[in-house]
Structure 1
Amino acid sequence: MVDILCKYIRAERTGNWELHLQTVSEMLSYLAACGHNHYTKSAWIYLQRMSNLHNDHPDVYQHFREGLHVVRRSDRYWAGLSSDLIIEQVLMRSLKTSGGLTRGRGMTEQQRLTWLLSKPACADVNCAMQELTGVSYNTGEQNKDITKARQARDWKDTHKILKYLRDMNPFTSDTSLRSISTGVHAHSTVNVDKAKDVGNAILISMEGKTAAEYNFKKKDQVITLDTKNAVKVDGIAVQIDPQLLFQRLTIIAAKATENFEDVFRYELCSYPPALFDSSLLLREPQ
């Protein structure tokens, strides 16, 4: 999955159309297996339409082959940006900053159209002012990711990962599926490690059906370690609270020792309740 993500970023940054379609296709099985149903349907239809683009719209296909399916704000090789990212970085940013619609202009349809249609004229005025004053905006050839500050930060992050893996070593002789952060072993029915095969089975069942008539079933998706964190008591599913279980086990162990008071000198929790509402949810700052 990390390799797919790296290839997708490369396809977008370099404007590689074929690699873009390849990586989106490779993502499909994982999207389906994880329950991202809208993404699965949308990407499925998108790939079908784009695979026939050279016949339906050969001129658009040729432009995409030349790298124009992404937007570039500079001439550098590694500078391609997805269109939705450009909308956030340029259009939405200018809409919410000084001179934008949210600064007292209003958001009616007429005001939105006037503001949008004026942007090309504003760009021409900007270029004319740069020529008049002899001041221009240029970007260097150096990639920002190879600056000394960025290299130092990446090196620091790499050491953090290595230190974490030394403390939580996943490369052991234990072949069972478990969480390297908590040490919890997975239930025998957990199959998240086979996400690609599960996703491919879902994609096969989608063949020959329209997006409107196909319904995803939760039982066909992968079973994660979290979804199996429950047991049945008298036929009723009971969710296990890891913190409560940890506290009770600690108290039982403390009662079996003579130094019962020493145990309660420490906070009996698997995470600090002063900072967390649950093991994955931070409290709001005060």
Structure 2
Amino acid sequence: MHWKVKLYKTYKNCYKRKLSRTSKLWLCFLDMVAILKRFLIAERTGDWLLHLSTLKEMLPYLAASGHNLYTKSAYFYLSQMQNLESDHPDIHAHFMNGKHVVRRSDRFWAGLSTDLVIEQVLMRSVKSTGGLTTGRGMGEIQRALWLLSIPTLAEYNHTMQQLTGTGYKTSDQHIENSKTRMERDNKDSNLLTEFLTDRNPFTNDKTLRNIETGMVADSDAYADEAKTVGDKIIESIAGNLVSEISFKKKDQIVTPDAKRPSGSNISQQPQVDPQLMFQRLTAVGQDKNH
């Protein structure tokens, strides 16, 4: 536990000073992880408002990292959903009740995104025995017949379960609440804490560096400014039609490991933090196993 306390104190001091670019990059990373966790909560629990807010938070990072199609689709999706309550109040009411996700069981933490269900259920059925890819053909008539017959087959399946006294039921306990899963998660958390304790990213070092290898990024790499860069890109597409939106590579972030243009004056020779390298060599020398 003392590792976590020490790491948190160092992080807190660094956050106040805002000196280290490496620390700033890790703060961006932690922000993205937090957004992803909130998005998973929204999907699992069917929280419509949280679903929209987390998607909005993702936009700057998607734009800055060059995921142009995701950025464009998510931006216009959010724009349309803002008017959902006035344009389609009945659908909005269903979504507010958690029906924007699909549930295959009645457990609270069991909501699934529609695209995930399509991939796991519909596409798997298409490719399995009795599906469309096993000799039936993929013509329009075959597809329509196969899709329209699914509700009838489901009724047959339900009736046969009642007749034979069998059924498929899920446990009240989610797999992530099992003792084995919690022990594994706790072990992984301790390993990560140990790793970050030895390679603390929250220092007063002003450079942008790889905490594992000690390599220092070139001056034109600014991945630590992802949020700011992404916000500017989102502002630039506001109010434009879909056909008018275009993204430029020069407006996106440059990561430390990105390939430089052939005419770039930036040195391709990797830079290594000498102090960090000395610390690593000292640690190896003190290890009896080496």
TM-score category by the smaller chain?
0.7 to 0.9
| Alignment equivalent of 1:111, drawn from 105, 123, 142 | 142
Matched, 1:145 2:176: yes
Matched, 1:209 2:201: no
159-168 vs 132-141, which deviates more?
159-168
| Amino acid corresponding to residue 98 of structure 2 in structure 1 | G
Partner of 1:253: none
Larger helix share, 1 or 2: 2
Partner of 2:49: 18
| Alignment equivalent of 2:196, drawn from 144, 161, 165 | 165
- Deviation of residue 191 (structure 1)? 1.6
For structure 1, list consecutive stretches of 5 or more residues without a partner in the other structure.
Answer: 247-286
Partner of 1:259: none
CA contact (8 A) 1:11 1:17 kept: yes
Matched, 1:69 2:100: yes
Partner of 2:63: 32
Deviations 1:152-179 (A, max 9, x none): 3212322332333244332333231111
Deviations 1:159-202 (A, max 9, x none): 33233324433233323111112211112222211111111111
CA contact (8 A) 1:17 1:69 kept: yes
| Amino acid corresponding to residue 50 of structure 1 in structure 2 | M
Deviations 1:238-280 (A, max 9, x none): 98486xx99xxxxxxxxxxxxxxxxxxxxxxxxxxxxxxxxxx
| Amino acid corresponding to residue 51 of structure 2 in structure 1 | H
TM-score (ref. length: structure 2): 0.77
TM-score (ref. length: structure 1): 0.78
| Amino acid corresponding to residue 54 of structure 2 in structure 1 | T
| Amino acid corresponding to residue 191 of structure 2 in structure 1 | K
User: Partners in 2 of 1:213 and 1:44 — Cα distance?
Assistant: 14
Partner of 1:49: 80
User: Partners in 1 of 2:260 and 2:186 — Cα distance?
Assistant: 40
Higher CA-based Rg: 1
For structure 2, list consecutive stretches of 5 or more residues without a partner in the other structure.
Answer: 1-31, 273-290
| Amino acid corresponding to residue 221 of structure 2 in structure 1 | V
1:204-243 to structure 2, matched below 5 A, reads 204-227=235-258, 230=260, 240=268
CA contact (8 A) 2:132 2:143 kept: yes
| Alignment equivalent of 1:190, drawn from 221, 228, 233 | 221
**What secondary structure is seen at the aligned counterpart in 1 of 2:202?**
coil
- Deviation of residue 22 (structure 1)? 0.3
**What secondary structure is seen at the aligned counterpart in 1 of 2:242?**
coil
Percent identity for Structure 1 against Structure 2: 54
User: Partners in 2 of 1:236 and 1:174 — Cα distance?
Assistant: 26
Provide the aligned C-alpha RMSD in A: 2.2
User: Partners in 1 of 2:233 and 2:217 — Cα distance?
Assistant: 23
